[in-house]
Structure 1
Amino acid sequence: MTAVKAGEVEGLLRRGPDPRIAVILVYGPDTGLVAERARLLAEKAVDDPADPFALVKLDGDVLAGDPGRLVDEAATVGLFGGKRAVWVRSGSRNYAPAVEAALKQEGADTRIVVEAGDLAKSAPLRVVCERSPRALAIPCYADDAGTLADLIDRTLRADNLRITRDARDLLAAGLGGDRRASLGEIEKLALYARGQGEIGIEDVEAIGSDVSGLMLNTLVDAAFAGRVAETERSYRRFQIEGMDASVMLGAALRHALTLLATRLDGEGKSPGAMVAGWRGLHFRRQRIVETQLARWSPASLRRAVTLLQDAVLGARRAGGDFSHAIAADLFLRLASEAARRG
């Protein structure tokens, strides 16, 4: 079994995979993180990532029609010598037979990196890689608080920047479930603060980091505060603007988890006292979050978390209009529940 646990991925990326590994499958619901890790692994496997003879890019649908192509590419010797890699981009057709054939090919030094989508445990591509001792299967799930903090620190450190804890908490609260979008916001902040050494809350507020958090707070806060009409208007607006349903649900899930942790830690305290200890909460949101803490008990928040987790998974599987139907329905259910408790 060569499936890598989610918590072990960052360590594996830092030290690099075992040289004997022929195929690395990178998959998961966070398409930005999948793409970033696949690129990193593919480029690290060659001496010059800009050399098209050293790093060959193939489309999965091409391999589905010509399974032997991957074996041929893996066996090819570089025009100028050196290490080679093949980067396979996700396709809509089943190209697991091509990967399986490449894994059976002994002696090839070419590293194959497969960039895939959100694969079920029974998906042929995932089964092939997880069963082979010559392959690794690396999952990519949405960043949690710890990985977001690490991502922020590492990205800013590359520009010789530090960030205060409060500013990091505020920035992390505004980042969503897509690694590519999160990186874009962090890099925007780094560009804004270049040369000043340390980043504070005022810098984060100035660049308006709102990938799926600070702007989505209007929707999430309305739902958990019981403002049904506002929830419906906000959801429709984000849908029209092209916001992904699972991103909106992810923001609500993170907020529900934070509310739950705050309620449990603040047992016996008033909502105002609990809000006072909420790190990174913008002062403009304090009153509405107090309302939410007053209306939601730990038991009701646990139920909300379960519903949101199921909805995130359902929206990712459904896609398109069906995902929005799932998300919109749940946001209105949350708002109705909060209104009833008011």
Structure 2
Amino acid sequence: MKAAERKAIDAALARFDPATRLVLLYGPDEAQAREIADRFTALLAPADDPMGRIDFDPGALAGDPAKLADEAAAVSMFGDRRLIRVDGAGDNCAAAVGALLGAPAAGNPVIMVGTASLKPSSALIKAATGSPLALVAQCFVLSGREAVDMVIEACARHGLKPSRQAAEALAAGFGAERGVLARELEKFALYLGATPDNARALEMEALAELGAAMAESDFDALVNAVAGGDSAEAQTQAAKLGRNGIIGIPQLRAVARRLMTLSELRRTIDTGRSAREAVEAARPPIFWKERDRISRQASTWTMPALRSGLSRLLEAERRIKLPGAASPELLTSRALLAVAHLARRSR
């Protein structure tokens, strides 16, 4: 991203101008574009407000270019501003963007993520570039040094101050997958008790202890058993991991990562898209061999059940860390069985 564009993005995230109708992010680094779009979405549409966000499919806008401008000008029954999100936009959305920026009024901001193939010369980009009502930024794949700097900035948002070695390790492991990096940093912040107002150092020891780089494949059987509601298989797989020295918190966090993924998919499904569509559109992409299984899981789980499951896992982790707590194996087993039970009830 060019320096001027980065400066404009940072300023908008710090203080969003209500006159801005469109934030358009595109370029070869789709992960960066989506990460920035997610930050704008969190800023303008709080997660606890189900009416605060509307998602549009690019195909729908191509067939009805006036739809975007109409929705941007619509007033909700409660009078609150709503955010409009469009992912995967291409040149087929150029007419819709032109209508949006040319409309006499628009109170609901649009956050749009373009496809990786878009260029400054593309019709969509031309439709937005130069308008005082639009903020347009092209996202390039980061160099090694830029990736480390990005990690340090992301850590700061979670109250973490990484050593250079830790920042380089995180950049090497997650630099291209910003969504995964953000979830890992949330766990580090929780573990270290860090907040933006109470920063904590993040050293290599913490990375090793939390197992951030541990291959997900080590936990696949356990995670799928729990998320699929198979209590007996979950116990078998937990015991198998235990015999290999993987007990307690690593198991809890592996399952928590799956529930977080399912939460993101469920949020998309609840906008009216199918589970398969949600899985296909997921970023970072879901491994193709797991797509059918995760699609089935996303179809059966509900958001209340997912929130309850994540709460149970976090509580188990908190208890494991307490002085004089019961054995990690026992606390982990109880939590995993409780989550598996939630999966069965959600069917």
| Residue number in structure 1 paired with 2:201 | 198
Does residue 128 in structure 1 map to residue 127 in structure 2? yes
Do residues 45 (structure 1) and 83 (structure 2) align?
no
Gaps of 5+ in 2: 216-286, 289-347
CA 1:77 to 1:162, structure 2 compared with 1: closer, same or farther past 3 Å?
same
Structure 2 counterpart of 1:79: 77
Separation in structure 2 between the aligned mates of residue 166 and residue 174 of structure 1, nearest angstrom = 12
Whole-angstrom distance in 1 between the partners of 2:137 and 2:214: 25
Deviation per residue, 1:85-117 (Å, 9 max, x gap): 211222467121011111110222221111112
Query: Which residue identity lines up with residue 11 of structure 1 in the other structure?
Result: D
What is the alpha-carbon distance in structure 2 between the residues aligned to residue 130 and residue 178 of structure 1? 27
In structure 2, relative to structure 1, the CA distance for the partners of 1:45 and 1:189 (3 Å cut) is closer
Q: Distance in 2 between matches of 1:44 and 1:4?
A: 22
My pick for the range that moved more, 147-156 or 171-180, is 147-156
How far is the alpha carbon of 1:155 from its aligned partner? 4.3
TM-superposed deviation, 1:187:
3.8
> Which of these residues, 52, 55, 58, is aligned with residue 57 of structure 1?
55
Question: 4+ residue stretches of structure 1 with deviation over 6 A?
Answer: none
C-alpha contact (below 8 Å) 1:182/1:211 kept by paired residues = no
**2:112 aligned partner:** 114
User: How far, CA to CA, are the matches of 2:202 and 2:42 in structure 1?
Assistant: 31
- Equivalent position amino acid for 1:39 in 2: D
1:71-220 superposed matches below 5 A: 71-91=69-89, 94-118=92-116, 119-145=118-144, 147-157=146-156, 160-190=159-189, 193=192, 197-207=200-210, 209-210=212-213
Q: What amino acid sits opposite 1:164 in the alignment?
A: S
d(CA) in 2 for partners of 1:127 and 1:17? 23
- 2:7 partner SS: helix
Tell me the distance in 2 between the aligned counterparts of 1:100 and 1:141.
25
List per-residue Cα deviations over 1:232-272 (Å, max 9, x = no partner).
xxxxxxxxx87xxxxxxxxxxxxxxxxxxxxxxxxxxxxxx
Residue 129 of structure 2: SS of its match in structure 1? helix
Aligned length: 212
State the secondary structure of the residue aligned to 2:119.
Answer: coil
Whichever residue aligns with residue 31 of structure 2, its letter is: G
Cα deviation per residue 1:317-337 (whole Å; 9 max; x = unaligned)? xxxxxxxxxxxxxxxxxxxxx
Unaligned runs of 5+ residues in structure 1 are 213-240, 243-342
Q: Distance in 2 between matches of 1:9 and 1:76?
A: 27
Q: Quick one: distance in 1 between partners of 2:151 and 2:119? A: 30
The answer to whether the 8 A contact 1:23-1:114 is kept is yes
CA drift at 1:180 = 2.1
Please give the root-mean-square deviation of Cα atoms over the aligned residues, in Å.
3.4
Does the CA contact (< 8 Å) of 2:160 and 2:201 recur in 1?
yes
Q: 1:49, 1:78 → 2: CA distance? A: 17
SS at match of 1:174: helix
Percent identical? 28
Contact 1:29 1:142 in 2 (8 A): yes
Is residue 18 of structure 2 the alignment partner of residue 19 of structure 1? yes
Which residue in 2 is equivalent to 1:320? none
What whole-Å deviation, never above 9, does each CA across 1:101-135 have from its counterpart, x for those lacking one?
11110222221111112211221111111132321
Q: Secondary structure at the match of 1:95?
A: helix
1:164–1:93 distance in 2 versus 1, CA, 3 Å? closer
1:146-168 C-alpha deviation (Å, 9 max, x unpaired): 55445434544555543323332
Structure 2-normalised TM-score? Answer: 0.51
Greater Rg by CA: 1
Question: What TM-score do the two structures reach when normalised by structure 1?
Answer: 0.52
Would you say the 8 A contact 1:59–1:88 is kept in 2? yes
> Against the structure 1 CA distance between its residues 8 and 146, is the aligned structure 2 distance closer, same or farther, given a 3 Å change threshold?
farther
Which residue in the other structure is 1:229 paired with? none
1:106 maps to amino acid? P
Are 1:5 and 1:138, in contact at CA under 8 Å, matched by a contact in 2?
Answer: no
